[in-house]
Structure 1
Amino acid sequence: MRTHSKETQSSLTPAMALEILKEGNERFMNNLKANRNLLQQVNETAAGQFPFATILSCIDSRTSAELIFDQGLGDIFSIRIAGNILNEDILGSMEFATKIMKTKIILVLGHSRCGAIVGACNHVEMGNLTGLLKKIEPAINKETSTQNNRSGDNIEFVNNVTELNVLHTIERIRNESPIIMELEKEGLIKIVGGMYNVESGKVSFLAS
């Protein structure tokens, strides 16, 4: 499989980009890989890159977007930070990826058994991590179905918060970036959320 060129990238619609990610995850789950020559892709991307997707995911060592979606060099912009939270620098990177580099989709990817979410649910405070985890608090506050044991020990509560955190991040992207919001309104990009299961390898896409 060759890397994307300007022509192949421009021919993709946001819906097609989403389908590529879904098909890649299906291959990953079935322990299959597209036939790629990575050294050839190094040469093909030496003069430029034309990725089709921008993915915001967690730093968790089990959640490499390139592996989960079976993508190669030059295929995706991968943004990784604990808890897949949003800040000004990440938002600026997304604006560069979509407006300048013409990626067709933004995926915010949460995952099961996320240590950052567990830490936020347990109100952990430790150095600079404290400020990062506070960005997850809006999702905790939005989780109103759990009345008892609202802590990191409650797996159902943590999973609910994880999904809500993905949706909250998407809401912030739309509200805080007029550039991205306009691209979405024009149908040039799609913004979607997903949940990766660290036990099965499956990505479930969320309605957003």
Structure 2
Amino acid sequence: MRKVKLNLIIIGILTLTVACQEKNKNGTNEGTAIEKQPQVTEKAVKSILTAEEQADMTPEEIIGRLKKGNENFMNNNLTRRDHSAQRRKAMIGQFPKAIVLSCVDSRVPVEDVFDLGIGDIFVARVAGNIENKDIVGSMEFATAVAGSKVVIVMGHTACGAVKSTIDNVDARSMNMNSLADLMDEIRPAVRETKTNGEISSKNETFTNDVITNNTMRTVQNIREASPTMAMMEDEGKINIISAVYDMESGKVTFNKD
């Protein structure tokens, strides 16, 4: 009798096991693992911008590509790149399509913001994205010598340099005369920005307007500081424009100067 019961138990276990296996095969058993679909791996870009490609692009086309790259950044869809291969190819020469003047803020990764890689753009950085002789000289090199066709002055939301200037932080009393001089370059944008509210960095609308106006002032200052670039722009060879990067959304908005 015991043997009969034992045999029945064994048969029951085997039957249950086979049934579970059949359910797994048919995909009808809830909670079972789903078969992995083959993944298509996007090939990493190994090439860099060539002299011919740089020469063939118009300033307007470059701006369009930068906007598309920014969409990729916002959608977390950055291009895969083989940096080792690009680095080796870049040793031959560089033919960037643009130069971007950005703030030093570590939260503004310029190349990523436009989905760009090695050899694509020049990047200059200074707090508050203001111009000076060295910056303008670098831009002249980028455009008149190296062939870049777009100059972008890109500010960003929540800019600490702009906020400190709005709030009249006294950098000189802290023995930071160079920072005070830098803030003096931003101050005209504060004075020229109208507001119905308080003049304070806590006034977000006012602060964002100052940030935009500061980029536009910098563009005008660049034109005045560089007759060469101003002439190139008049001839349609380059565009000098301003933009603002929104740190929350990742969107770059180009201004109409």
TM superposition score normalised by structure 2: 0.79
Aligned partner letter, 2:204 = I
Task: For structure 1, list consecutive stretches of 5 or more residues without a partner in the other structure.
Answer: none
Q: Secondary structure at the match of 1:60?
A: coil
Aligned partner letter, 2:113 = I
Correspondence 1:94 to 2:143: no
Correspondence 1:17 to 2:62: yes
Q: Secondary structure at the match of 2:183?
A: helix
Match of 1:123 in 2: 168
Instruction: Number of aligned residue pairs: give it.
Output: 207
Aligned partner letter, 2:186 = I
After superposition, give the CA deviation of every residue in 1:45-91 in whole Å (9 maximum; x if it has no partner).
Answer: 01211100100010111112101001000110000110001111101
Larger radius of gyration: 2
State the shift of 1:147 in Å: 4.2
Spell out the pairing of 1:53-132 with structure 2 (5 A cutoff): 53-126=98-171, 127=176, 128-132=178-182
Q: Secondary structure at the match of 2:48?
A: coil
Spell out the pairing of 1:149-164 with structure 2 (5 A cutoff): 149-164=198-213
Spell out the pairing of 1:187-206 with structure 2 (5 A cutoff): 187-206=236-255
Alpha-carbon distance in 2 for matches of 1:87, 1:125: 22
Match of residue 42, structure 1, among 87, 90, 99: 87
Aligned partner letter, 1:158 = T
Alpha-carbon distance in 2 for matches of 1:139, 1:55: 20
Contact persistence 2:78–2:112 (CA under 8 A): no
State the shift of 1:149 in Å: 1.5
Q: Secondary structure at the match of 1:135?
A: helix
Greater than 2 Å deviation, 4+ residue runs: none
**Aligned residues with identical type, % of pairs:** 42
Tell me the C-alpha RMSD between the 2 structures.
0.9
Task: For structure 2, list consecutive stretches of 5 or more residues without a partner in the other structure.
Answer: 1-44
Contact persistence 2:197–2:203 (CA under 8 A): no
Alpha-carbon distance in 1 for matches of 2:137, 2:196: 37
Contact persistence 2:122–2:142 (CA under 8 A): yes
TM superposition score normalised by structure 1: 0.97
Aligned partner letter, 1:135 = E
Match of residue 191, structure 2, among 123, 141, 164: 141
Alpha-carbon distance in 2 for matches of 1:124, 1:98: 36
